[in-house]
Amino acid sequence: MTENEMKEIKEEGNQWEEIKDADLFEFKKEGDSIEGQLISTENNVGIHKSKMHSLKQSNGKMIKIWGSKILDDKLMSITFGTQIKIVYEGDIQPDKGNAYHDFKVYKQNQKGEA
């Protein structure tokens, strides 16, 4: 849309705001965390067919995070619209098998919930 077209739209009383892509948040070190309202989960994203979770932060900013087996399993039981906090616990190396990323996931209790 050209600048003149935008001017015409504003003159008609309409306001337009660009919809921007969500930022990607990456957990890099132990203790990294993110909070927000769980908005959606996309399946089969990218070449590894991973999940991607979208959070809306309190400032209105949309953030996306890549899923992992551990994180996906923990988020599966959370209803969209719930306020959550995800804390990266670092890489765990079990006695047998491959290392994996570990997370703690917290949800904000609604009034009346124990």
Q: Answer whether residue 22 shows pLDDT above 90.
A: no
Share above pLDDT 90 across residues of the chain, in percent, rounded to a whole number: 65
Between vectors from CA 66 to CA 61 and to CA 67, what angle results, nearest 5°? 125
When pLDDT is averaged across residues 80-89 and rounded to a whole number, the result is 96
47 assigned to some structural domain: yes
Domain encompassing residue 54? 20-107
For residues 2-31, average pLDDT: 69
| pLDDT, tens digit, 9 for 90 and up, residues 30-73 | 999 999 999 999 999 989 999 999 999 999 999 999 999 999 99
Q: What confidence score (pLDDT) does residue 109 get? A: 82
Using a pLDDT cut of 70, give the percent of the chain over it.
80
- Structural domain total, the chain: 1
| 3 located within any domain | no
Whether residue 97 has pLDDT greater than 90: no
CATH number for the domain including 86? 2.40.50
Q: Return the number of other C-beta atoms located less than 10 Å from residue 22's C-beta.
A: 15
> Confidence band (pLDDT; 50, 70, 90) for 18?
low
Over 60: is that where the pLDDT of 11 sits? no
Instruction: Specify the DSSP class assigned to residue 79.
Output: P
Say if 14 falls within a structural domain.
no
In a domain, 15, yes or no: no
Q: Where are the beta strands (DSSP E) in the chain?
A: 23-24, 33-45, 50-56, 62-66, 83-92, 100-107
